[in-house]
Homo-oligomer: A and B are copies of this chain.
Amino acid sequence: MDTSATTARTDLGTAATPDASRVHPETTPPVRVALLGHGTVGGSLHRLLVEHREHVRLATGRDVEVRAVLVRDASRSRAGIDTAVTLVTDSLDELVATQPDIVCEAMGGIDPTREYLLTLLDRGIPVVTANKQLVARHGTELFARAAAAGAQLRFEASVCAAVPIVRMLRESLAATRIERLLGILNGTTNYMLSAMTAHGTDYATILAEAQALGYAEPDPTEDVEGIDAAAKLSILAGIAFGTTVSIDDVRTRGISHLTADDVAHAHVLGCRIKLIARGERLDAPGGGSRLALDVTPMLVPEAHPLANVGGATNAVLVDGAPFGRLVVQGAGAGGPETASALAGDLVSVMGSEPSFLTRDPHVAHLEIAPRDSRAERHYVRMLVADRPGVLAAVAGALAAREISIERVLQQRADNGRATLVLTTHPCAPSDLDSALEGVESLECTVLPLLELETPR
């Protein structure tokens, strides 16, 4: 174990020193992190901090070490925790005794989590949290105590997991005037509505399916009645409009009354049904603004940026001046995704100023890959003489380079010419070039064809 752990804790609460990126990690003690909770999110964060140690070091010039984990039952064995480095405890006092520089909260719930965070913040220990309910209900109290103690409190992970909407609102758009915020903030209902739209399934069937797949809880009320979305909206609207919002301010309707017929009729009207969380600044009669807040299924025109947000994806659209409109979308749930947001906040609390391109002078420059290192599908359009044997010649030239054809469209053009369009299975670009060189054509356009892959 690193003996430098016994040195005084660094003053991380007061943030950035531009010098941090120039400090060499080997000569600087690691940042001591403690986790509250070691379930799906906490465990993912722990793994991330071990596996992405190098990325954290490049971003901050510091190493991070998880020194303590608070769990409900400390006697249960925890796979993947190196107990030589990390204390597993059910006592907050024991956790505090490890002198954490930062605490990451992923245990959820209000009690005893609220008390724990207040205790930590009062001691000036910065906290990053993934706890939506706690921030929605007790955010104002927590922030007052954090400010009084001069400790940072960050909560990106509490809303829409990996989608960086909290940072966008609090930092990128801090100097702007936001007029409206529309969000698809609940993955379960968006998955259900997407499936109802795609397959014409009715509500009860798709709910049972979502429950079987683990996308919906055995008691789905929080999701399907819009309560989860309303809690998230109350957090986001508070930041966006610079005011305090209670979840009770949000008029909330869920999706449980919708039928397959509604979805079908929406389609006839050129729309999709989405559960939309909406905050909007309206003119108040006596001047100034007031705020309309609701969560409700809405008919969304197919060309709207939120209409094509499918599956369990979350998305938020913000309109305002002078930036116009911004839309951000991504995974709104999941252990690793939520852990990613906690880690981003953790790096910000560590306070080293964001670095530029090469994050560390000791990092090797990444080599640029040669053109053929990636096989791709291609689109080829050729203008050829319209005579027998041309398609055979093209197909033969491709076959000679072992490039196989996926689709062919052939069309007569003017003046005895024909347009030949084909797509290939994945092949090296230079093989395709060589193959096409041997074919006589008047015009030839080759474009790569993007695969519709899901993220890795």
Contacts and interface: CB of A to CB of B under 8 A. Distances in A.
Contact of A282 (B49, B281, B293, B373): B373
Interface stretch (A67-75, A216-224, A257-265, A431-439): A257-265
A303 B452 contact: yes
A329 interface: yes
Nearest to A58: B242
A374 interface: yes
A450 B344 contact: no
Interface in A19-75: 19, 21-22, 44, 48-49, 52, 55-56, 58-60
A325 interface: yes
Interface in A346-374: 346-348, 351, 353-360, 363, 365-369, 371, 373-374
A151 B18 CA distance: 7
Given A171-B347, A269-B407, A450 B299 contact: yes
A426 interface: no
Contact of A340 (B322, B365, B373): B322
Contacts of A456: 179, 319, 321
A184 to B, nearest CB: 12
Interface string A162-181: 11100110111111110100
Given A238-B357, A262-B447, A323-B340, 12 more contacts: A59-B175, A162-B326, A167-B167, A175-B346, A175-B347, A242-B363, A243-B358, A265-B379, A289-B366, A290-B368, A303-B452, A324-B331
B290 A449 contact: no
10 closest pairs, A vs B, by CB?
A: A322-B336, A15-B16, A238-B357, A325-B455, A59-B174, A175-B343, A143-B356, A164-B172, A162-B323, A170-B354
Contacts of A258: 445
Nearest to A359: B242
9 contacts: A15-B18, A16-B16, A176-B343, A249-B368, A265-B381, A265-B421, A290-B366, A292-B369, A299-B379
A266 interface: yes
A177 B56 CA distance: 10
A109 interface: no
Contacts of A451: 301
A347 B174 CA distance: 7
Interface in A317-341: 319, 321-331, 334, 336-337, 339-341
B379 A449 contact: no
Interface in A257-288: 257-259, 261-262, 265-266, 268-269, 271, 273, 276, 280-282, 284
Nearest to A243: B366
A6 B284 CA distance: 41
A297 interface: yes
Nearest to A146: B18
A291 B367 contact: yes
A152 interface: yes
Contacts of A254: none
B151 A351 contact: no
A344 B171 contact: yes
A170 B172 CA distance: 13
